[in-house]
Amino acid sequence: MNNDFNKKRIFIWIMLISIVVIVFVLYFFVYPKNKTKVAKEISNPVTQIKVMPVNQTEETPIKTQAELIAIPEPIPLPIGVDRFIVSLKDTNEIITTNLFDQGYILNKDSFILLIAGKDGKGIINPGAYKISKEMNNSQLVQVLKGKPYMKWIKIPEGLRKEEIAKLLADTLGWTSKQKDNWIKVITAAKPDYMEGVYFPDTYLVPIDETPELVSARLISKFNEKFSSYLPEFTAKNIKWTTALTLASVVQREAANNADTPLIAGILWNRLNQKMQLGVDATLQYLRGDTGGGWWAPVSIALKKIDSPYNTYIHTGLPPHPISNPGLSAIEAVLNPTKTDCLYYLHDKNRITHCAVTYEEHQANIVKYLK
C-alpha cells in the first residue's frame, strides 16, 4: 500500500512540475513573441487605405504626381493667429464687414477710412493673411495692405502648360529657372503628364509652395474632377487618354462652352470615318509661340509639315493633349451632339455653322467668311 501511495504521490509531483515548466516556457518564451506581434499590429494598423481618385489601369490615369508628391496640409498657424481670406471679388466694404462679423474690429466706418487712406484709394489685395484678434485697427490694416502669404491663381480653360507656367511664375514669384524647370522637367516626367492634367480652376496657393507641389496640386484637382466621368468612359470603351486628348482639341476648336457638344460630335464623326481631323489647334501646338502668341493663325506652309501633330496629314489624334480642357469639353466628348456634319466653321460673330458635305462647307465659307 505504501509503495502504491508513494508512486501516486511521485506521479502527482511530476505532473505538477511538468505543468509549471510548461507555463514557464509559454510565459517567458512564446508569449513575449506573440505580445510583440500584437503590439506591432496595434501600433501599425492597416486601416489607412488610400482611396485613389482614379484607378491605375490602362484605361484610367496612371499614378500621378499628386500621389507621388503628397500635398501637405496647411501648416497650423500659431495659437491666436488666424487665416483671413480675401476673395477675388471682395471690396473694402465686404472685407470690413467680414472682419466685423468675425470679431476683429468694433467699428466698420472707422476701419474703412483706415483702408482707404489719405488719398481714399487704398485697397487690400486678394489672398490669405495672418491676423489676430489682439491686433488693433492700425496693425490689421498694416498686415492686410502687405503681401498675402497665399495668393489666388485663376487658370482659364484651354491653356497649354507654358501659359500656365507664366501665370504661376508671375503670381508666385518664380525665377526663370524655376519656370523652365516646371515646363521641361516637372511636367515632362511622363508622357501622360505633358498636358491635359493641369486642371483649369481657381486656386489659393501658398507663395512659398514648391513648383513640384504646385504641379501636384493641379493634377490632384484634375483627378478629383475627372474621376466621376471614368465609369461612363469605360462603359463606352473610351480610354481616359483618348477622352482627354480629344477634349483638349474640342476646347481649342469650340467658339464657346455651349458649342463644345457640336464640335465634339463632328470630330467623333471624323475619327470614326478614319478622316483627318484637319484642325488648326494641333498645328498651333506644334508651332508654339514664334512671336505672335501661342494660338496665332497657322500658315499654309505649316499645314504641309510632316508631324504627328499635323491633323491635316495624319489621321487620328495627336500624341497627347494640346491644352488643359475644362469640364464642358470633357462632358462634350462623353455626350457629343448627334449630327451628320463632318465640317464646321465659325463666322465673324463666332457662330458655328456645320456642313455634311465638303461642297456645303465650301458654300458656308463663301457665305460666312467672304
How far is it, in rounded angstroms, from Cα 5 to Cα 307? 105
Neighbours of 226 (CB within 10 A): 23
- Phi-psi category of residue 203: left, alpha or beta, with phi > 0 → left and psi -120 to 50 → alpha: beta
DSSP 254-315: -SSGGGHHHHHHHHHHHHHTT-B---HHHHHHHH--SSS-TTPPPPTTGGG---TT-TTTSB
Residue with the larger pLDDT of the pair 164 and 24: 164
Question: For 247-261, what is the mean pLDDT?
Answer: 96
- Decide: 330 and 243 in contact? Cβ < 8 Å: yes
How far is it, in rounded angstroms, from Cα 280 to Cα 253? 8
How far is it, in rounded angstroms, from Cα 164 to Cα 154? 9
| Confidence at residue 121, expressed as pLDDT on a 0 to 100 scale | 85
pTM over 0.85: no
Q: What SS3 class is residue 89?
A: coil
56-70, 227-241, 250-264: which has the minimum mean pLDDT? 56-70
| Set of cell numbers at residue 339 | 449630327
Residue of 123, 106, 104 whose CA lies nearest to 114 = 123
pLDDT above 50 for 55: no
In angstroms, how far is CA 270 from the centroid of its own chain? Answer: 30
For the segment 286-325, what is each residue's pLDDT rounded down to a tens digit?
A: 999 999 999 999 999 999 999 999 999 999 999 999 999 9
Give 261's Cβ-side CA count (13 Å radius).
8
For the segment 119-128, what is each residue's pLDDT rounded down to a tens digit?
A: 888 899 999 9
pLDDT above 80 for 147: yes
Question: For 83-109, what is the mean pLDDT?
Answer: 95
Phi and psi at residue 127, in whole multiples of 5°? 145, -165
Phi and psi at residue 84, in whole multiples of 5°? -115, 120
Percent of the chain with pLDDT over 70: 79
| Confidence at residue 370, expressed as pLDDT on a 0 to 100 scale | 85
- Decide: 320 and 191 in contact? Cβ < 8 Å: yes
Residue with the larger pLDDT of the pair 74 and 167: 167
pLDDT above 70 for 13: no
pLDDT above 60 for 138: yes
For the segment 30-53, what is each residue's pLDDT rounded down to a tens digit?
A: 444 443 433 333 222 222 222 223
Residue with the larger pLDDT of the pair 35 and 240: 240
| Confidence at residue 37, expressed as pLDDT on a 0 to 100 scale | 37
Average pLDDT along the chain: 85
For the segment 157-214, what is each residue's pLDDT rounded down to a tens digit?
A: 999 999 999 999 999 999 999 999 999 999 998 888 899 999 999 999 999 999 999 9
pLDDT above 60 for 19: yes
How far is it, in rounded angstroms, from Cα 152 to Cα 176? 20
| Confidence at residue 193, expressed as pLDDT on a 0 to 100 scale | 84
β partners of residue 189: none
Confidence of residue 61 (pLDDT cuts 50, 70, 90): very low
Beta strands of the chain (E only): which ranges?
Answer: 82-86, 127-131, 150-154, 202-206, 343-346, 352-355
- Decide: 71 and 221 in contact? Cβ < 8 Å: no
How far is it, in rounded angstroms, from Cα 362 to Cα 370? 11
